[in-house]
Amino acid sequence: MSANNFTIVSTPGKKISLERNSHPCPKCRHHASVQLMRSERQFILFNKCISNSMRVRYECSKCKWKNEELPSYPEEFNYLPSEDELLFGYTMDTDSSSHISSLSGAY
């Protein structure tokens, strides 16, 4: 074995997504940037593996937020606006077409 093949210190790591669906981030509020990830890392010294570590946690791809668990989401994350609310910022009242009810507390 030649001296050129020795690795003094190396920390190669890889990340693997464990789920296809995404979750909203509690920090940056991006609607679909958090996924469950598995991180693997090896510490190698003089071509001998010293330690292996593996961690599973949720990570945000936008703001780098990380946590072992997803937080329980407040109601604002569960709220899905209607098409009228997305386009116009208000909803049409179903009782009276001439009356426009404004969207309160959604933003």
Helix (H, G, I), strand (E, B) or coil at 3: helix
Q: Which helix (H) or strand (E) holds 76?
A: helix 75-78
Confidence of residue 72 (pLDDT cuts 50, 70, 90): confident
Least reliable range by pLDDT among 25-39, 64-78, 79-93: 79-93
Q: Residue 95 above 90 pLDDT? A: no
Q: Over the chain, what is the mean pLDDT?
A: 72
**pTM here?**
0.53
Q: Could you give the percent of the chain with pLDDT greater than 70? A: 56
Predicted pLDDT at 83: 60
Nearest to 35 by CA among 8, 57, 10, 53: 57
Residue 34 CB contacts under 8 Å (≥ 6 apart), including other chains: 22, 23, 24, 25, 58, 59, 60, 61, 65, 70
Q: Residue 49 above 70 pLDDT? A: yes
What is the spatial distance between Cα 61 and Cα 37, in angstroms, rounded to a whole number? Answer: 11
Predicted pLDDT at 60: 92
Structural domain boundaries in the chain: 1-64, 79-107
